[in-house]
């Protein structure tokens, strides 16, 4: 009996970074590659992963939303 399984998923990450705090009442959305590439993002991995693939695209999928405090 083989104990393998496969999963296809969409992952959305959320975390708080106090260095990005602001007090406006509107959300800020950054869609500039130069800006978003300078922000820290967590390095996600799956423990005991046998293999993994990411899809190939011509432009990076990056959207960063910064919410007011």
Q: Annotate 7-22 with b (16+ C-beta within 10 A) or e (fewer).
A: eeeeeeeeeeeeeeee
- Listed by start position, the domains of the chain span 1-69
In the predicted structure, residue 28 carries a pLDDT above the cut 70: no
| Total-model pTM | 0.45
Pairwise pLDDT comparison (32 vs 52), residue with the higher score: 52
- Average pLDDT of the segment spanning 38-56: 79
d(CA 4, CA 17): 37
d(CA 67, CA 51): 35
Q: What percent of the chain has pLDDT over 70?
A: 71
């Amino acid at each position: 009996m083989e104990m393998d399984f496969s999963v296809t998923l969409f992952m959305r990450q959320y975390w708080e970074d106090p260095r990005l705090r602001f007090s406006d009442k509107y959300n800020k959305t950054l869609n500039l590659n130069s800006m978003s590439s300078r922000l820290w993002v967590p390095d996600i991995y799956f423990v005991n992963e046998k293999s993994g693939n990411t899809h190939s695209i011509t432009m990076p999928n990056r959207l960063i939303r910064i919410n007011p405090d």
